[in-house]
């Protein structure tokens, strides 16, 4: 019987939405992610698999996991895992295989619509008794006919393209590892350079992993290329944007605004100047988290563990 510790900060009832998909012959036990390392070391020594949410283990704990055949992340992001050490130890790591792509996609589109239709400000005005003080005819917009630049045309980027294409948007994309030409053709998405994407787009939306190559990818140089009417959307990872540079262009109204689900520091310091700007809308890193997501993630996780237990290669391995 495979032994599977699951270290998580999820509420027990939420973790149960995942573990209900565990096979009857898998011994899955949920532990708080805050368990001290010394206790974790004892728990992982005889484990066959580990499930993590959030995706982080210290070096001593990883070194103690001598029998682990796969570290399975509940998240798509793996930037907190020491992949170099995992590789040296021979422990494969898999992410969630894009099972939260639907959630992130819908959240991305919702943020664009919320910004374009000024929903946050309108809600505040109505609650304060200020009816119709925003001139929607002068300050709100439709997605139809706009040029949307998608940075990263993976599973999430492709879903975003499909939804926004249905709204009537013109689609550009940049991806150093593009999908098959047939996929971009079906999406009616045109591949361009990163510079041209930032120059031409009315909305730039980011769907890339955080790694050495993408850290601060969106910098002062790229932000300077954007239209003064453009919107920047980030539902991937905060550090892919140079936050100081973004703050400057937003404060100076060199772009119309930003819609941010993620930040460089989470939760942000209350003194973060971004929080003082009225041309930014925020959500607290929840784009990929809905009640519906856990079933998709749970099914994938335990199907993946079963594959490895049978001697097959894991799906969604990140190295």
Q: Is 237 a catalytic residue?
A: yes
Candidate list 63, 118, 254, 285, residue with the active-site label:
285
Residue among 310, 260, 235 at smallest CA distance from 76: 235
Distance of CA 294 to the CA centre of its chain: 15
Beta bridge partners of 172: 149, 190
Candidate list 39, 266, 303, 312, residue with the active-site label:
266
In the three-class reduction of DSSP (H, G, I as helix; E, B as strand; rest coil), residue 221 is classed as helix
Q: Is 285 a catalytic residue?
A: yes
Candidate list 237, 243, 264, 297, residue with the active-site label:
237
Distance of CA 158 to the CA centre of its chain: 14
Q: Cα separation of 286 and 107, whole Å?
A: 8
Q: Cα separation of 261 and 257, whole Å?
A: 14
Q: Please state the length of the chain.
A: 319
Q: Cα separation of 162 and 107, whole Å?
A: 14
In the sheet that holds 257-260, the strands lie side by side as 189-191, 170-174, 147-151, 203-206, 231-234, 257-260, 280-282
Q: Is 191 a catalytic residue?
A: no
Cβ atoms of residues 197 and 170 within 8 Å: no
Q: Cα separation of 89 and 180, whole Å?
A: 34
Catalytic residue numbers, as ranges: 237, 266, 285
């Amino acid at each position: 019987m495979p032994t599977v510790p699951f270290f998580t900060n999820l509420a027990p009832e939420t973790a149960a939405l995942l573990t209900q998909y565990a096979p009857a012959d898998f011994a899955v036990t949920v532990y708080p992610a805050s368990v001290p390392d010394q206790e974790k070391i004892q728990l992982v020594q005889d484990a066959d698999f580990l499930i993590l949410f959030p995706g982080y283990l210290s070096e001593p704990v990883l070194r103690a996991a001598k029998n682990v055949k796969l570290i399975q992340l509940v998240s798509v992001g793996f930037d907190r895992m020491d992949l170099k050490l995992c590789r040296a130890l021979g422990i494969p790591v898999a992410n969630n295989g894009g099972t939260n792509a639907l959630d992130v996609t819908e959240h991305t589109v919702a943020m664009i619509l919320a910004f374009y239709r000024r929903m946050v400000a309108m809600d505040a005005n109505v609650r304060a008794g200020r009816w119709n003080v925003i001139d929607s005819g002068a300050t709100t917009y439709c997605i139809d006919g706009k040029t949307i630049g998608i940075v990263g045309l993976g599973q999430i980027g492709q879903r975003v393209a499909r939804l926004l294409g249905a709204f009537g948007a013109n689609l550009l994309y940049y991806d150093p590892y593009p999908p098959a030409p047939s996929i971009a053709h079906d999406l009616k998405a045109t591949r361009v350079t990163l510079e041209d994407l930032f120059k031409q787009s009315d909305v730039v939306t980011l769907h890339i992993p955080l790694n050495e190559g993408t850290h601060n990818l969106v910098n002062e140089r790229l932000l300077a290329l954007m239209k003064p009417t453009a919107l920047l959307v980030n539902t991937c990872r905060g550090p892919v944007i140079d936050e100081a540079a973004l703050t400057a262009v937003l404060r100076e109204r060199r772009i119309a605004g930003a819609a941010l689900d993620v930040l460089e520091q989470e939760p942000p310091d209350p003194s973060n100047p971004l929080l003082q700007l009225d041309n930014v809308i925020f959500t607290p890193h929840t784009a990929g988290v809905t009640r519906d997501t856990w079933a998709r993630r749970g099914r994938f996780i335990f199907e993946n563990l079963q594959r490895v237990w049978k001697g097959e290669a894991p799906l969604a391995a990140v190295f």
